[in-house]
Copies of this chain bind each other. A is one copy, B any other.
Amino acid sequence: MSAGVEWAIHCCVVLSQADGPVPAPRLAEFHGISRTYLAKHLQALSRAGLVSSTEGRVGGYVLTRPADRVTVLDIVLAVDGSEPAFRCTEIRQNGPLPAGPEACTRPCGVARVMHAAEQAWRASLKDVTVADLAESVTADVGAGTFPALRDWLAG
């Protein structure tokens, strides 16, 4: 899995606590990561419609939806792509003893199992929102975190 997913999720949590638009370089500096590469992933979020970008001197990124309407799954799919991890190549239709296409009216058992597992994975990610993550931050490192963040963003 792409490491940019982690960056994107953390950035969304920060954006949910910011008052106005936050530029990409500021987000990168806050997390101590590469400015230019983070910008690439933020572009992916923008293409997916999760964040809205404004240009100009006071521009930056803003969450388009309320934090409790943005799921972790949304972010993961936006950054890593929405294609399933497992792609069935139908090898049962190859070789000297093939199961003809007419006999394969539904996906083979292997594909069904992998698909079900991916659905379970997605369902688990869909249950958690950015708002939930923000709450967990305050629970983990203290309630003063986000006010300090806002101060740092303003200064």
Contact = CB atoms under 8 A, between A and B. Distances in A.
- Tier of interface size on chain A: 35 or more
B3 A109 contact: no
Given A95-B30, A142-B103, A149-B97, A133 B117 contact: no
Nearest to A123: B120
A10 B110 contact: yes
A88 B31 CA distance: 13
Q: Which of A9, A112, A113, A122 has the most CB of B within 10 A?
A: A113
Could you say how many copies of this chain the assembly holds? 2
Interface of A: 1, 3, 5-7, 9-10, 13, 29-33, 72, 85-89, 91-92, 94-99, 103-104, 106, 108-110, 112-114, 116-125, 128, 132-133, 136-137, 140-142, 145, 148-149, 152
